[in-house]
């Protein structure tokens, strides 16, 4: 007798969540210029052995969070976000170690399950008092 697996309700992949988040940031950057500084750190993904060795030699490190917003707010130097799927996203031991180390160095470092949660984290972070005044250009 053939066993059937239940197919879980479809949820966006981590890639789709991140693309959605960056599209939101691009759109909102018209009113929140600091969002132009949000960038992705391409540590994840499958790579062949040669590419993996080259990236490691160039300084790519396992566990570094997916996103960085290098904007100082409140008592923080900047914000790092490890983005996971809304469902079934698990933080690895290396990722947790990076988050703890970043926090100990004065960064806000958070895990977000989905783009919506990441947007909330970013908005709350940007609502903290700026450390530096922005100069008019």
| CATH code where residue 67 lies | 3.40.1350.10
Q: Say what the pTM is.
A: 0.86
Q: What is the pLDDT of residues 3-56, one digit of tens each?
A: 555 545 578 989 999 999 999 999 999 999 999 999 999 887 677 888 878 888
What's the domain count of the chain?
1
Whether residue 51 lies inside any domain: the answer is yes
Whether residue 102 lies inside any domain: the answer is yes
What's the token pair of residue 127? Answer: 């609502």
Whether residue 100 lies inside any domain: the answer is yes
**With b meaning 16 or more CB within 10 Å and e meaning fewer, what string describes 84-122?**
bbeeebeeeeebeebbeebeeeebbbbbbbbbebbbebb
Residue-level pLDDT at 42 = 84
What's the token pair of residue 30? Answer: 């018209």
Long-range contacts of 4-10 (CB under 8 A, 24+ apart): 8/87
């Amino acid at each position: 007798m053939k066993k059937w697996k239940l197919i879980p309700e479809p949820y966006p992949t981590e890639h789709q969540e991140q693309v959605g988040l960056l599209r939101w940031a691009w759109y909102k950057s018209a009113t929140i210029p600091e969002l132009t500084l949000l960038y992705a750190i391409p540590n994840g993904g499958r790579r062949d052995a040669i590419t993996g060795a080259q990236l490691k030699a160039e300084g790519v490190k396992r566990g570094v969070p997916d996103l960085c917003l290098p904007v100082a707010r409140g008592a923080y130097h900047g914000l790092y976000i490890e983005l996971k799927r809304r469902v079934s996203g698990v933080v690895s031991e290396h990722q947790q170690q990076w988050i703890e180390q970043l926090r100990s160095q004065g960064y806000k470092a958070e895990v977000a399950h989905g783009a919506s949660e990441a947007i909330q984290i970013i908005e709350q972070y940007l609502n903290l008092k700026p450390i530096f005044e922005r100069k008019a250009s």
